[in-house]
Structure 1
């Protein structure tokens, strides 16, 4: 199991996360394309010491949703959030974080209920480049075969050590939970998770994309990037926190 976060990869090397490591500039969407303005107007870059380490989604003027493993061991005073820019290192609005809350059901060992909320010190209003994400409804479970799109500033290849400056995105099909449990194991893929990717591999989120959004064609936020076995490997789809899972959904809404 590997998270897709750069920071957590160093904290919990046994888990393969999708977050990026500060100073590691090679964490990015695999097999994707450069995103255009307006594709993900709610995406934000979470930064520590000036380096991107995870993605997130702006839910309202003061609230960012990200992965629980991106928040593990972090202090609010050390984190900055950049919104409204396609580049993680310039433009848009850069604000401080006032508090961090991790879902009480989150487990760093299993990555169950892998969501967290960052409250911002300064409000971020909507603008020509910024809007707020629409959450999946309680009980919503992405349908197998549906096309979904994930975005981030993570590495563009497994084991990469350079982050792309510009936001990237990639579209992949939803993999049924039954199939995903076959690809991994029944115990690893909980009901608070869902999976997406090509059977042949080649397209996926990767290190540095953790916490970022994966959406449907209406841009409804269905999940946050969580983990996977490597990046874009055949038979190993990306695994996402399920925003529609009832306990996850109700907890997120209670933080708004």
Structure 2
């Protein structure tokens, strides 16, 4: 297997251009379908300079949870949050951000983010409405079991080599694979703060621009956030997600 630095593709979409080898997953879904209105009332688009670069979730009227790697390169004054719209560029409610707090243990090794979570505080509260709701957080220590089907959503690219974003929210359902199997795929770099989901044959995955967005169980409970992966929807490489249940103390301390 190639070293991690050659394999990993982060999933954030930089505001100006897609990154090269290591690139956070920023904005769309591969092999998915269009999301319906109200299906993910807690999902938000994070933008800078009018361009979407990551997803996030509303935890309450004043708080967004997203990936740490979506947060380390921005100040609060540079970003905006849009909620309540199926399109990232218009509609719903868009507000500013008053503070960004990245998990103090956040780190990257060979481009792989760990403890990959951040909390954004909004400058204007976003109240619930017919199109806006708050996400249900997982139980402390929650660790999705292998074989469980989870669903992720985002505005990311629809193929690995695409440079354009879809305008409308997409979703895809993928099965969790064991941490041991995922470590076999990636060479023992999957920590207890991560879990993996995807098809062995590929074809369905989150992709560039989806980072920080939700992956939820059948009850709508937020089990994780889009984090990183080898390309998008490649055979033999599952998508890697933040295991939010293992990082809940940080999140709860900033709600």
Pick the aligned partner of 1:169 from 152, 166, 171. 171
Structure-1-length-normalised TM-score? 0.93
Is residue 9–residue 16 contact of structure 1 (8 Å, CA) maintained in 2?
Answer: no
Is residue 206–residue 226 contact of structure 2 (8 Å, CA) maintained in 1?
Answer: yes
In structure 2, do the counterparts of structure 1 residues 10 and 116 end up closer, same or farther at CA, with 3 Å as the change threshold? farther
Instruction: Give runs of aligned pairs for residues 145-156 of structure 1, distance below 5 A.
Output: 145-156=147-158
Is residue 13–residue 23 contact of structure 2 (8 Å, CA) maintained in 1?
Answer: no
Is residue 8–residue 69 contact of structure 1 (8 Å, CA) maintained in 2?
Answer: no
Structure 2 regions of 5+ residues with no counterpart? 1-7
Instruction: State the match for 1:31 in structure 2.
Output: 31
Instruction: Give runs of aligned pairs for residues 200-215 of structure 1, distance below 5 A.
Output: 200-215=201-216
Provide the alpha-carbon RMSD of the alignment: 1.5
| Offset, 1:108 | 2.8
Instruction: State the match for 1:96 in structure 2.
Output: 96
| Offset, 1:15 | 2.4
In structure 2, do the counterparts of structure 1 residues 65 and 142 end up closer, same or farther at CA, with 3 Å as the change threshold? same
Is residue 224–residue 240 contact of structure 1 (8 Å, CA) maintained in 2?
Answer: yes
Is residue 16–residue 229 contact of structure 1 (8 Å, CA) maintained in 2?
Answer: no
Alpha-carbon distance in 2 for matches of 1:133, 1:103: 20
| Offset, 1:13 | 4.4
Secondary structure in structure 2 of the residue aligned to 1:252: helix
Alpha-carbon distance in 1 for matches of 2:135, 2:122: 16
Is residue 25–residue 210 contact of structure 2 (8 Å, CA) maintained in 1?
Answer: yes
Per-residue displacement from partner, 1:69-88 (whole Å, max 9, x unpaired)?
A: 00012010010100000010
Structure 1 regions of 5+ residues with no counterpart? 20-26
Instruction: State the match for 1:4 in structure 2.
Output: 11
In structure 2, do the counterparts of structure 1 residues 212 and 105 end up closer, same or farther at CA, with 3 Å as the change threshold? same
| Offset, 1:16 | 3.5
| Structure 2 residue 25 is the aligned partner of structure 1 residue 18 | yes
Instruction: State the match for 1:235 in structure 2.
Output: 236
Structure-2-length-normalised TM-score? 0.93
Q: How many residues align?
A: 246
